[in-house]
Amino acid sequence: MFAVLGSLCASAQKLTLHEPQTKSNVIYLAEPVTIQAGTPADVGLAFRVADGLHINSHSPFATEMIPTTLMVEPLPQVRIGRMQYPAGVKYAFDFAPQEKLSVYTGDFVVTMHVTAMRAGTYSLNGLLDYQACDNLQCYPVKTLPITVILTAK
């Protein structure tokens, strides 16, 4: 275990932080959501990681890896429950070919458990924190603001 963590730390120390060439590393694929008022519901929030990049999953295998997290601000009329993250894809990279990392690439969905107390349309604001990397380097941690338009009927 210590050998694995040591090699990951050594590999991570070799990585330098650079600003990415792309304008956005991750985008939120916003879609309006309709749920039943007063009834708990699961809402899928879709994201897309730019081609050629990966981000650590919510549960990376090593403690020094920065997890992807999503926080959504509750409103008095809307209860936000726990977030359910997808399992990461196990992937090995050039900087540590023997070590597998848990990452998201391409499209992934975080499920938000939510209850709107009464009918109406609500604008929920949130933040997705992540660190994007390519096969050679990692970039500074970024925060992606999101807005979920939620209609309860």
Q: What pLDDT tens digit does each residue of the chain (153 aa) get?
A: 334 334 444 444 334 444 444 467 999 998 889 999 999 999 999 999 999 899 988 988 877 888 999 999 989 999 999 999 999 988 877 767 788 888 999 999 999 999 999 999 999 999 999 999 888 888 899 999 999 999 999
Interatomic CA distance for residues 23 and 139, integer angstroms: 13
pTM of the entire structure? 0.79
149 and 33 Cβ atoms separated by less than 8 Å: yes
Tokens of 37: 């008022």
Tokens of 41: 């519901």
| pLDDT for the residue 57 | 87
CB atoms within 10 A of CB 123: 10
Residue burial 39-74, b: 16+ Cβ < 10 Å; e: rest: eebebebebbbbeebbbbbbebbeeebebbebebee
Hey, what domains does the chain have and what are their CATH numbers? 2-152 (2.60.40.1250)
